[in-house]
Amino acid sequence: MNKNTKLIIGVLITLSILLVTFLVVRPMLQDRTVATVANETIERPELDLAFTFPSGEDAYTYIEPLKMEGNDKPIGAFIMMESKAYEIMQEPNFVGETPPSMSIFVYAEADEASSTGASSSDSIDRVTKLRNWAEANSGVTAYNLALTTPLETEIDGAKALYYKSDGLYGQEVYIAFHRNKYYLIVGQHDGEENPQYRAFQELIRSITFM
């Protein structure tokens, strides 16, 4: 696969993660922006998830699409986009690329692999489980376009994979597994010196699995 082809595919994957999820459900979006910058904590006990991000006119707007139907759809989706860029995108005559964002998507483990007791998946270590899921769902994880060797890490004590992927913007990707759910966490930025990159690192550090 040549570099140009790889870049095109990377752009398409980025669009599948953001544009499809964002624009298709746009009429149903619930968004909120506070007047001043303040750390806002989102708690979703039903998804065993909590996280904090800077909300405000000079920070991020929080967007939570309503739940989508289908076994291959996320059971939870959270998008944070810089407020000023989000406002520009809402203008009727907006033309251009969707701005970088920070996103968290939650997927339920397949029924045949989920159990409160022992299952065939128990014999697979967590990191292998994560790699298998990421590879099987590369259409949204961009795992096959990883620019770096996926590394084993942890988020709030849960096993996770981390890698950088190709796309319209620079992308940092984390995939974690907790209580029969996969958490796909994607941060987009225009360079590691950009505040967007630092905001995403802070988001990762704030994540709590309940």
How many domains is the chain partitioned into structurally? 1
DSSP 8-class letter at 52:
E
CA pair distance 171, 179, nearest whole angstrom: 26
Domain encompassing residue 131 = 3-209
**pLDDT per residue rounded down to tens, the chain (210 residues):** 555 444 444 544 544 454 444 443 443 444 555 557 789 999 999 999 999 999 988 899 998 876 666 667 899 999 999 999 888 888 888 887 888 999 999 999 986 544 433 344 444 788 999 999 999 999 899 998 899 899 999 999 999 999 998 778 889 999 999 999 999 999 999 888 888 999 999 999 999 999
Number of H helices, E strands in the chain: 6, 11
**C-alpha torsion 15→193→143→97, nearest 10:** 10
Q: How far is CA 93 from CA 19, 88, 100, in A?
A: 17, 9, 19
Contact, 84 vs 68, CB < 8 A?
A: no
